[in-house]
Structure 1
């Protein structure tokens, strides 16, 4: 029991003090920044960001298009980082505690929902996407960029082998979740879809899918 308690305490210490900084460092790499810089400026009107994390998207929003950005994240450590993250002058931001599977907002509240590198670590991507549909206004836009299951058999085999250890090290991040297929199964039609490997990234961790979606 002592060993189990010590292991649990060490895991908690890692998740609270080490993991948030590691995630921000890894997800702030140039390849990730390029994707954020491409998607975030397209967010317009009342914007919801799912899994705002350390606020790495905030620097790329356009205050002339986004009237307000509301970010949700379950991690208090990451929310603290987001509160202090760089952002353009004039951008109105509210950062709230919450989980994407049960959003604390009324139906049809937001013009845009942005989701970057979040679906890999939530408990239920299907529940998150159902909530996304619920809070989007009619005609609203869902912007996403996520890493996930590679279509290449050799790469996907390695993803399945690595995933159990990877989840423990990377805060529950999955490598084998389909991205675009899951978005479409939730009732969205994907426009401007892109599928690619990140440059210079190991292929099991580097498959990415990006798109602009609206309710079909």
Structure 2
């Protein structure tokens, strides 16, 4: 939760959150900055496990069952797109980030917090060897995605980037977080 708290308050204006899951980020948004939040997730069942009273959020809110690879929103609509711990499970990250670029307003920003490829070779070897089993057990989660590379290779310029191991099982605990803008 601590990592999410570093990036979620950066979101301002009309926001899209990709793979909202059960809504863990909703209480972290800065009510003074957010005017509207649209949340998408491919699993209505996971969304329905949320414990947030969305009727009493301090900003307008809408949930849509949808995949990141096919965002059912208009072009140039959002000031920011938030993705936390979801790029690891999105199978077609290229298509998903094309969609993010499409729905972002000019000068909009991508706000992200993800786990991924570790910097040290020993942990990388563990990530690569465990990954085939892990992704089957973890709902498609990949331990070894190179998050900064994926973001930059898909039309974004990273503006801020922090990275570190957080407490936990080392193959799953190297985190990246920051912001990016469309080239």
User: What's the TM-score once normalised by structure 1's chain length?
Assistant: 0.81
The structure with more helix, counted as a fraction of residues: 1
Match of 1:210 in 2: 177
Q: How far, CA to CA, are the matches of 2:148 and 2:125 in structure 1?
A: 19
- Which ranges of structure 1 fall in alignment gaps of 5 or more residues? 1-32
- Which ranges of structure 2 fall in alignment gaps of 5 or more residues? none
Q: How far, CA to CA, are the matches of 2:163 and 2:32 in structure 1?
A: 29
Deviations 1:86-131 (A, max 9, x none): 6774222111100001111111010010000000001111111111
Q: Between Structure 1 and Structure 2, whose CA radius of gyration is higher?
A: 1
Q: CA RMSD in A?
A: 1.4
Deviation at 1:65, TM superposition (A): 0.6
Q: How far, CA to CA, are the matches of 2:45 and 2:181 in structure 1?
A: 32
What is the DSSP-based 3-state SS (H/G/I as helix, E as strand, rest coil) of the residue aligned with 1:47?
strand
Deviations 1:8-39 (A, max 9, x none): xxxxxxxxxxxxxxxxxxxxxxxxx1111121
The structure with more strand, counted as a fraction of residues: 2
Trace 1:1-216 onto structure 2 (pairs within 5 A): 33-82=1-50, 84-85=51-52, 89-199=57-167, 201-216=168-183
Q: Which has the higher contact order (CA 8 A, sep 6+)?
A: 2
The count of residues paired between Structure 1 and Structure 2 equals 182
What is the DSSP-based 3-state SS (H/G/I as helix, E as strand, rest coil) of the residue aligned with 2:70?
coil
Q: How far, CA to CA, are the matches of 1:49 and 1:89 in structure 2?
A: 15
What is the DSSP-based 3-state SS (H/G/I as helix, E as strand, rest coil) of the residue aligned with 2:181?
strand
Is residue 46–residue 110 contact of structure 1 (8 Å, CA) maintained in 2? yes
What is the DSSP-based 3-state SS (H/G/I as helix, E as strand, rest coil) of the residue aligned with 1:107?
coil
Is residue 58–residue 86 contact of structure 1 (8 Å, CA) maintained in 2? no
Deviation at 1:47, TM superposition (A): 0.2
What is the DSSP-based 3-state SS (H/G/I as helix, E as strand, rest coil) of the residue aligned with 1:81?
coil
